[in-house]
Structure 1
Amino acid sequence: MRETKNKPVSILLVEDDDIDAMSVERAMRKMQLFNPVIRAIDGIEALEILRAGQVERPFIILLDLNLPRMGGLELLRVIREDEALRDSVIFILTTSNNEEEIAQAYQKNVAGYLVKSSVNQNFDPILAFLEHYWRLVEIPH
């Protein structure tokens, strides 16, 4: 996640839980990942941010499923139906390990489904995984 073709990867963190959002940002600082992070607290706000171009490309979306107003699966559906956004790279980052939700997410072409294990989640391994992933793949600009 440090850079792709000399350009930092921006992150849209769609997470309504303040503790989880702070934990992700703290883990990024600890790993010295200084990617731009923009946070949305629900799907409606995330969609507004994306459509306004407030997240610079290339970007990834870390998406929680359990959100107020517009949930993660609904946001995922809207993004995949939007010509300008459908190529967005999205990782689900949620507490839900419901098989039906996992299947629905993969049917909408998510890059990965990561389950937060507890309230006191250590996000270091998840962010390390994402950093290695982005070193190896090309992402849409």
Structure 2
Amino acid sequence: MQLVNTMAIDVLLVEDSPSDAKLTAKTFKTAKVLNTLHIVEDGVEAMNFLHQTGEYEGSPRPDLILLDLNLPKKDGRQVLAEIKEDSRLKNIPVVILTTSEADEDILRSYELQANCYITKPVTLQQFVRVVESIENFWLTVVKLPPVK
């Protein structure tokens, strides 16, 4: 039995690696799930998108955030902390998708209320499999919180 999501989902990908962002976008595009993937390259852009400021005025509130930790301008840990401290944003699920396997990063992310922590795999095939798994779980299995 294949699970299919019939609601449109907005996903915010915060990723500074152009190749990882492109591959994630390609994997999302080939899926059978209705979604719109928005991509920003650093933590400052992420917060502008979430607060709908600057060039992101009128941007949609994402239903899910995929967040890299090692970002320019504003670190992903700072972004996560700001999201979870903001009453308007804190119920958006945040999936950490990063290269870091450091125990302190994993522990700190969960202390900051990340919803899950995934280490990016090394090979292209494994990376695609991970993105598909994220998409299948978070966009077809999980019931996401309603927009406030």
Q: How far did residue 121 of structure 1 move?
A: 6.1
Structure 1 2/124 Cα, relative in aligned 2: closer, same or farther at 3 Å?
farther
Paired residues, what number?
A: 138
Which range moved further: 33-42 or 48-57? 48-57
Q: How far did residue 34 of structure 1 move?
A: 4.7
Alignment correspondent of 2:137: 133
Q: How far did residue 81 of structure 1 move?
A: 0.9
Q: How far did residue 54 of structure 1 move?
A: 1.2
2:69 is the counterpart of 1:54 = no
Secondary structure of the structure 2 residue equivalent to 1:123: helix
Alignment correspondent of 1:42: 42
5+ residue gaps, structure 1: none
Using the aligned pairs only, state the percent identity. Answer: 32
Higher relative contact order (CA 8 A, sep 6+): 1
Alignment correspondent of 2:9: 9
5+ residue gaps, structure 2: 53-57
**Equivalent-residue separation in structure 2 for 1:111 and 1:75 (angstroms):** 14
Q: TM-score, normalised by structure 2?
A: 0.83
Q: How far did residue 2 of structure 1 move?
A: 5.8
AA at the equivalent of 1:55: P
Q: Is the 8 A contact 1:11 1:55 kept in 2?
A: no
**Equivalent-residue separation in structure 2 for 1:51 and 1:2 (angstroms):** 30
Structure 1 34/19 Cα, relative in aligned 2: closer, same or farther at 3 Å?
farther
Q: CA RMSD for the aligned pairs?
A: 2.0
Q: Is the 8 A contact 1:2 1:9 kept in 2?
A: no
- Deviation per CA, 1:69-123: give whole Å up to 9, x if none: 1010010011111111111100000000010000000112212111112274643
Q: Is the 8 A contact 1:9 1:36 kept in 2?
A: yes
Structure 1 44/119 Cα, relative in aligned 2: closer, same or farther at 3 Å?
farther
AA at the equivalent of 1:95: T
**Equivalent-residue separation in structure 2 for 1:119 and 1:69 (angstroms):** 27
**Equivalent-residue separation in structure 2 for 1:132 and 1:24 (angstroms):** 13
